[in-house]
Amino acid sequence: MMTGSHKCEDILCTYCYNKFSPIKMNMHYRLNDGMINPLHKSVEEDKSPEEETKTESEFDMGRVRTSRRTGSSSAARAVKGKRLDEKLLKFYTERMGMSSNEAQSRAMQNDYVEFDADAPEIDYDLNEWKKYGFVESIKYNGQRVKWICPFCHNPLVSGSGKKKMLLFSVIGDTNAGKTVYFSALQRLIGDRLLYIGGDDSDDYNFFATGTRLPSSTNTKPLPSCTMMYMQENPETKENEEYILVFCDIAGENCTSEQKLKKTAFNLPNSSAILFMIDPTRFETIATIMGKKGESDEEQYKLFTAVYNFFDAGGNKLKIPTAVVITKSDVLKAHSFFSGDDDKNKFVMPYSSDDHANFVSLPIIDEVDGVTRDFLRAINKGVYVSNVDMIFENSKFFLVSSLGYDPESQGDDNAIMPNRVAEPFKWLLYENDAAFSHRSEKITRRSTGITLLNKKLDKGIFSKIKGKEETKKIDFYYKKSELKKKLESLKEEP
Ligand SMILES: Nc1nc2c(ncn2[C@@H]2O[C@H](COP(=O)(O)OP(=O)(O)OP(=O)(O)O)[C@@H](O)[C@H]2O)c(=O)[nH]1
Ligand SMILES: [Mg+2]
Ligand SMILES: [Zn+2]
C-alpha cells in the first residue's frame, strides 16, 4: 500500500452505496469476454487433464505468475468462461430483492482480478498511481478492463476517487413532491450537468421525457441518477467538477423503520438529505384548497421512522438536512403569507436567488425563520421541534417545483419553479462544494487590534489609542475557507 498524501477522494458506489477510500483497499476489475484469470485454478482442478492442456494452449498461458496474493508461484492456469460472482449474487438477492434463480443467472459473469502493483500482467499509468494512490484504468494482459466496486462488483463511475462525490437522498411521504422536485432541479441546473451514470436519468427527469407528473415512485429499490456538476468559483470564474448522485425513494417506503431498512440503503452514507413535507396535508391548507381534510398523520410518522432508522445512539444526525415544504404555491392564499409582503415574496413565483452562482446565507436564514414561524402559526410547531431533535444541521425551505397547482389549475401551465435551487445550493455549501459571499466593514486601529463587530467599537476598545481605519472586505468562500480567508483579509494592509 502506498503511503503519503494523495489527491484522492472517497469513492461512493452508486449501486450498494458503500463509501470507501481507494488507497485503503485493492481495486477490482472485471475481465473482458474470453479473458482468463490464472488465480482461479480451483475450478480447473476438477477438470480432466485433457481439458486442462487444451485450455492452456488455447489461451497461451505459459507465463508464471508470482503474486503476493496467491503466495504461490505455480504455473498460471486458465479458467475459461463465466463464473458465479458471489458479490453480485449477494447484491441481487439482498439489495435488489431478486429471486435466487434470476440473481444466479445475472451473477454469472466474467471473472475479475484484483489490482496488484507488482503483478506482471497488470499495466497501468505509474504517474496516476503516484498522484492518486490508486488507478482507475488498467490493462490486464494487454486489454483494458473495467473497474468494479470491491464490495458489490457493479461498475464504478468513471472519475470516482478523483472528483468529490456527493450523494443526495430524499425522504418524504407519498405524493410529497419528491420526484417532481428532482425533475425541476435538474431542469434548473441543467446547463451545468452531464449525465454519466447508467440509463436511469429519465426516472429522475420527467420534464425531459415530456411527462410532467410522474406516477407514484416504484417501491422496489431504485437506481440512482449520477451526474457531473460544474460549479463556478464566483471570484476566479474557474470551474470545479463534482460527481452528484441523486437518490429518489417511494414515499411508501419511508413510513416505517422496517420499510426504510429494506430499501433506503443510500441513506446512511448520504452527503445531504432533502426531507420533503407536503403542506396540502395540513388541515388549514387543505381547507383553503377546498380539499376534504387529508390527515398529516402518515407524514408525521416519518420522523419516528427516520429517527429509529438512523439509530444514532441518542446523538443528533450530522448529515446536513434541508427540510423542504413543497408545493409552496398553495400557501399564497394563507393569511400568514398573503397579508405580509416580507413573507409573501417567498411563496410568489420566480426567485432571482435561484440563478445566483453563490449561496446567500442571510436569505437562507430568513426563509428558515419564516418557515418555522409559519408551521408554528398553523399549529404544526411539532414539525419544527422534531426536526431540531433529530437533525444537528438543518434548515427549513419553501419550494414550489411547478409554481402552480395542477390539481386546481390543470396541467398545461408553464412551469415556474420557485426557490427550487435554494435547498440544493445550501446542501452543496455544507459539503464544501459551493460558495457563499461575505461583505462587511472592519475597523482597525494602528495598535493592531482589529474590530469586526461595531458594538465592540465602543466601550473599552474605543479608549485604546491609535489611528482608526475602516475598510470594506468583500469575498467569496467555501465553508471550510471562511476562517482563514477572513483572517488573512483582516491582516492585509
Ligand atoms: N401545487 C403543487 N403541486 C405539486 C408540486 N409538485 C408536485 N405536486 C403535486 O404532487 C404530486 C406528486 O408529486 P411526486 O413528485 O410524484 O410525489 P412523490 O413524493 O415522488 O410521491 P411518491 O413517488 O409516491 O413517493 C404531483 O403529481 C403534483 O400533483 C408543486 O410544486 N405544486
Ligand atoms: Mg416519486
Ligand atoms: Zn458497490
List pLDDT tens digits, range 60-74: 232 322 333 433 333
Specify the pLDDT at position 451.
Answer: 56
pTM of the model: 0.86
Does the pLDDT of residue 462 top 90, yes or no? no
Does the pLDDT of residue 55 top 50, yes or no? no
Beta-carbon count within 10 A of 391 CB:
22
150 closest CA partner among 107, 112, 116 = 112
- Domain map of the chain by residue range? 23-148, 164-430, 436-491
Pairing of strands 108-109, 138-140: unpaired
Specify the pLDDT at position 465.
Answer: 55
Q: What letter would DSSP give residue 144?
A: E
Cell of 429: 455549501
CATH dotted code for 164-430: 3.40.50.300
| Residue of minimum CA distance from atom 5 in ligand 1 | 327
- Ligand 1 close to Cβ of residue 214 (< 6 A): yes
Does the pLDDT of residue 466 top 80, yes or no? no
Q: What letter would DSSP give residue 155?
A: B
- Average pLDDT of span 240-255: 94
Confidence category of residue 218, pLDDT binned at 50, 70, 90: confident
Does the pLDDT of residue 280 top 80, yes or no? yes
- One DSSP character per residue, 180-191 reads HHHHHHHHHSGG
**What is the spatial distance between Cα 60 and Cα 43, in angstroms, rounded to a whole number?**
18
- Average pLDDT of span 288-307: 87
Ligand nearest to the CA of 180: 1
Q: What percent of the chain has pLDDT over 70?
A: 81
Does the pLDDT of residue 127 top 50, yes or no? yes
Cβ atoms of residues 133 and 2 within 8 Å: yes
Cβ atoms of residues 283 and 291 within 8 Å: no
| Residue of minimum CA distance from atom 29 in ligand 1 | 406
Grouping H, G, I as helix, E, B as strand and the rest as coil, residue 357 is coil
Residue 244 half-sphere exposure, CB side, CA atoms within 13 Å? 31
Q: What percent of the chain has pLDDT over 90?
A: 57
**What is the spatial distance between Cα 195 and Cα 367, in angstroms, rounded to a whole number?**
31
Cα of 328 to ligand 3 centre, how many Å? 37
Say which range, 115-124, 187-196, 430-439, 441-450, has the weakest mean pLDDT.
Answer: 441-450
The length of the chain is 493
- Ligand 1 close to Cβ of residue 67 (< 6 A): no
**What is the spatial distance between Cα 283 and Cα 373, in angstroms, rounded to a whole number?**
17
Where residue 190 falls (left for φ over 0; alpha for ψ -120 to 50; beta otherwise) is alpha
Ligand nearest to the CA of 183: 1
Query: Which of 174, 175, 182, 415 to mutate for ligand 1's pocket (most ligand atoms within 8 Å of CB)?
Result: 175
Cα of 178 to ligand 1 centre, how many Å? 7
- Average pLDDT of span 332-340: 92
| Residue of minimum CA distance from atom 27 in ligand 1 | 213
Cα of 153 to ligand 3 centre, how many Å? 6
Location of C-alpha cell 474590530: 451
| Residue of minimum CA distance from atom 32 in ligand 1 | 327
- Average pLDDT of span 292-305: 86
Mean pLDDT of the chain: 83
Ligand nearest to the CA of 174: 1
Residues 67-114 have pLDDT tens digits of: 334 333 333 333 456 889 999 999 999 988 889 999 999 999 999 988
- Ligand 1 close to Cβ of residue 175 (< 6 A): yes
Does the pLDDT of residue 227 top 80, yes or no? yes
**What is the spatial distance between Cα 255 and Cα 147, in angstroms, rounded to a whole number?**
36
36 closest CA partner among 140, 149, 106, 150 = 140
- Ligand 1 close to Cβ of residue 217 (< 6 A): yes
